[in-house]
Amino acid sequence: MTLLRIIALALLSLGSFGSAQAQDYPTRQVRMIVPFGAGGPADVYARIIAQHLSEQLKQTFIVENRPGAGSIIGTDAVAKSPPDGYTLLVMSNTHTTNESLVASKPFQLMRDFVPVAPLNYSDLIMVVHPAVAAKDLKEFIALAKKDPGKLNYASSGVGTPYHMAGELFKSMSETDIVHVPHKASGEARNAVIGGHVQMMFDAITTMAPNVAAGQVRALGTTGTKRSELTPDVPTVAEAGVPAYEATIWLGVMAPVGTPQPVVDKLNAEIAKVINRADVKENWAKQGAVPMVMSPAEFDKYLRADIEKWAKVVQKSGIKAN
């Protein structure tokens, strides 16, 4: 038997093994690690996905929150996990930002992980505590310029979409507002609601009820058009900072080396969840827009987002704490 034939048979055998793996997968519990705190968008949507995957694949998908260090702690735990499809990472644009913002990470996103599937994206909403003496965005900007460095804004950590939205706002509005990072979005949200921090950019999906309850005052949303959840709230761009835009998106990745047939199966099953009529309807009410891509398309999306935020980081001079 020639060497080429031996190699061909070996590759065929590996391909058959991978297909068999995907056919049988999963045969036990799957962990979905959310490197953010409970109650935030990543946690909320991961649990929806996990519930439906458990039903579709007849195995338990559990969500495990591992917050800290702007997503790095939980992400590193996944990077060090066996590449077998039984430990998955629920990630966001925090991860693509961190590629240029945090040089000392113990992992590199596109080296140590493989893209599985995106989930959704949603606008952010800029809110202030009711005690802040600004009824609209222009008044807030004037207040910030009057007393540079006096106002604070909260985030769930360095490099998170909430942080980057704040830094982009500072840069474009030419204001000096102090960043106050927290370990999780829930902590940051409570800090603003409690009046300990004056302002925050938060996911509209989670902060809209607090706006409706009068616990915070909304000054603007971050999309290109007004959100259906808060139609009376102008976009930041129309309220005083032209061309401003920022969103939060979510996706799923797996440790590098995870068999491609397993990745493809997960992608297909997640797409089934996202395309469910009830899921689409529920997400629309929360201001979340579904995203469906192949692993290869998601790979291109991630690389483009890394490049986009690298330019923002360089231009603004943002540095990790």
Each residue's pLDDT tens digit, 94-149: 899 999 998 889 999 999 999 999 999 999 999 999 999 999 999 999 999 999 99
Q: Looking at the structure, do residues 117 and 127 belong to the same domain, yes or no?
A: no
pLDDT at 8: 46
Q: Looking at the structure, do residues 130 and 186 belong to the same domain, yes or no?
A: yes
Choose the final residue of a domain: 214, 239, 264. Answer: 239
Q: Looking at the structure, do residues 266 and 227 belong to the same domain, yes or no?
A: no
Choose the final residue of a domain: 206, 239, 272. Answer: 239
- Whole-number average pLDDT of the chain: 91
Q: Looking at the structure, do residues 60 and 155 belong to the same domain, yes or no?
A: no
Q: Looking at the structure, do residues 26 and 97 belong to the same domain, yes or no?
A: yes
User: Is residue 10 predicted with pLDDT exceeding 90?
Assistant: no
pLDDT of 155-177, one tens digit each? 988 788 899 999 889 989 999 99
Q: What's the total number of domains in the chain?
A: 2
pTM over 0.85: no
Q: Does 14 map to a domain?
A: yes
Q: Looking at the structure, do residues 234 and 139 belong to the same domain, yes or no?
A: yes
Domain that holds residue 259: 3-121+249-316
Q: How confident is the model at residue 217 (pLDDT cuts 50, 70, 90)?
A: very high
pLDDT at 151: 97
Choose the final residue of a domain: 239, 264, 287. Answer: 239
Q: Does 30 map to a domain?
A: yes
Residues of the chain with pLDDT > 70, as a percent, come to 93
Mean pLDDT of 23-36: 95
Q: Looking at the structure, do residues 235 and 281 belong to the same domain, yes or no?
A: no
Q: Looking at the structure, do residues 104 and 86 belong to the same domain, yes or no?
A: yes
Can you give the CATH number for the domain in which 156 is found?
Answer: 3.40.190.10
Q: Does 115 map to a domain?
A: yes
Q: Looking at the structure, do residues 8 and 108 belong to the same domain, yes or no?
A: yes
Q: Does 244 map to a domain?
A: no
Can you give the CATH number for the domain in which 303 is found?
Answer: 3.40.190.150
pLDDT at 319: 72
Q: Looking at the structure, do residues 136 and 156 belong to the same domain, yes or no?
A: yes
User: Is residue 241 predicted with pLDDT exceeding 90?
Assistant: yes
Q: Does 321 map to a domain?
A: no
Q: Looking at the structure, do residues 201 and 53 belong to the same domain, yes or no?
A: no
Mean pLDDT of 177-187: 91
Q: Looking at the structure, do residues 142 and 233 belong to the same domain, yes or no?
A: yes
Residue 252 CA: distances (Å) to CA of 117, 124, 241? 5, 20, 33
Q: Does 170 map to a domain?
A: yes
